[in-house]
Amino acid sequence: MSDIKKVVLAYSGGLDTSVILKWLQDTYQCEVVTFTADIGQGEELEPARLKAQKFGIQQIYIDDLREEFVRDFVFPMFRANAIYEGEYLLGTSIARPLIAKRQIEIARETNADAVSHGATGKGNDQVRFELGYYALEPGIKVIAPWREWDLTSREKLLAYAEKHGIPVEMKHKGGGSPYSMDANLLHISYEGKVLEDPAREPEEDMWRWTVSPEAAPDAAEYLELEYARGDIAKVNGVAMSPAQVLTELNRIGGKHGIGRLDLVENRYVGMKSRGCYETPGGTIMMRAHRAIESITLDREVAHLKDDLLARYAALIYTGYWWSPERRALQTLIDDTQMVVNGWVRLKLYKGNVTVVGRDSSTDSLFDAAISTFEDDGGAYQQSDAAGFIRLNALRMRIAARAGRK
C-alpha cells in the first residue's frame, strides 16, 4: 500500500494528463486533486472539469492565472530582454514556475502529501516543475509518471486511453498521435511528428496563431506602445492590463505573420531538440523594449544588462526561477527599469517588426545638440577626442613597442 494518500495533479485535460489521472488512481490507490491553470492557452477549460468528474475527482481547481502570469512572470522576464540561445523567447519555460507555485498552494490547501506532473523524463519541464516544488515546499513528494510507467510512447498512451475510455481530441489528420503542443498567452510550441527530423520543413497547417508572411496583409500596420518602468502600459493610446496587452499584441502580430520560429535547442538534460514556436506578441515586445531602453538607459547599465542576459535566460530555461541568484538578478534588472518610460512606434509588415520611432519626454538621454552632424554651437569639443583615443591606445602602443604581436 502506498504511503501517498492525496496528490495534486497539474491537469490539462489532454492526452498525457488524462492518462496520468487514471494511472495515479490505479497505481497509487490515492485521492487525486486536479489543477488546471488558465494561462491563456485559448482552449475551453470546462472539458477538463468534465473529464475529471468522469473519473470521480471531488476537488477540481480551474484557476484563471492570466493576469498573474503576464504581470509577475512575463513582464519581469522581458524587462531583462531574456532570450535563450539567441532565438528562443522562453514561452514554455516562464509558465512552469507559476504552475508549480499554484500547485504547491493547492497541496497546502487540500492537505495533499504529493504533487504530480505530465513532463517526460527526456525533457526540461520535469526539472522546471520539480525545482519549483522543492524551492517552495522542501518536503513535498513528487510523482513523475513518465519516469515510472511503461507507457513509453504517445502511441502507447493512445492505446491506454482507448482501453480505459479516455476521450482524446485533436488526432493528427494523417492518423497516429498529434503534435506535442504547449500554449499560453506568450506562445504556442510544437514538437514531435515530422519535427523530429530537423531537415524537414514544418507543415503549413501546423501553425495556429500566425498566418504565413506570404499570406499576411500587403499593407504595413503601425503600432505605438507606451512604457512605464519597463512595462507596456498602453497600446495605441489605450490603457490595458498586462494580459490584455499581450492578448492584443498576439492578435496584431499573428495577423502580420510575426513570431514564427523553427529551432534546434540544447535541452538541460543534455540532448538537442527540434521545436517550432509562435510568439507574435513576445516578438513585438522584445523589439520595442530594446528600442525604449536605447534612449533611456545609461550605456554601461545597458551593457551590464546585456552581459547578464544569457545567464538570466539560462536560469529561466533550466527552471531556476525561484533560485536566489535569479531573484538577485531581478532586483538589479528592475532597478534599471525605473527610467524606462516613453513610447515606441513600430511598423509591422509580412513577418517583420521594424522600429520607426521612440521617445521619452522624462527620461531620454538622447541629446540632439551633442549628437548632431550640424553645428553644435560648442556643445561638444571634438578636440577632446584626440587625448581620449591616445589614452585608450596607450596599453597597445606599449605592447607594440615591446615587440608583442
Gyration radius (Cα) of the chain, Å:
25
Cβ neighbors of 367 (< 8 A, separation 6 or more) are: 379
| 10-14: long-range contacts, CB 8 A cutoff, minimum separation 24 | 10/35, 10/37, 10/99, 10/103, 10/115, 10/116, 10/117, 10/118, 10/129, 11/35, 11/36, 11/48, 11/52, 12/36, 12/48, 12/118, 13/45, 13/47, 13/48, 13/51, 13/52, 14/169
Residue 48, Cα to own-chain centre: how many angstroms? 24
Query: Hey, how many other C-beta atoms are within 10 angstroms of the C-beta on 201?
Result: 9
Q: Is 16 a catalytic residue?
A: yes
- Residue carrying C-alpha cell 524537414: 200
Q: Is 180 a catalytic residue?
A: yes
Q: Is 251 a catalytic residue?
A: no
Is 127 strand, coil or helix? helix
C-alpha cell recorded at residue 287:
523589439
Per-position DSSP letters for 179-233, written without gaps between them: PEEEE-SS-EEEESGGGGSTTSPPPGGG--S---GGGS-SS-EEEEEEEETTEEE
- Rounded Cα gap, residues 81 and 306, in angstroms: 8
C-alpha cell recorded at residue 263:
529551432
Burial class (CB in 10 A: 0-12, 13-18, 19+), 197: exposed
C-alpha cell recorded at residue 200:
524537414
- Catalytic site residue from 18, 93, 116, 180: 180
- Catalytic site residue from 18, 93, 116, 125: 125
Residue 313, Cα to own-chain centre: how many angstroms? 10
- Catalytic site residue from 16, 79, 177, 182: 16
Residue 333, Cα to own-chain centre: how many angstroms? 17
- Catalytic site residue from 96, 102, 128, 358: 96
Q: What is the DSSP letter of 153?
A: S
Q: Is 182 a catalytic residue?
A: no
As annotated, the active-site residues are 16, 96, 125, 180
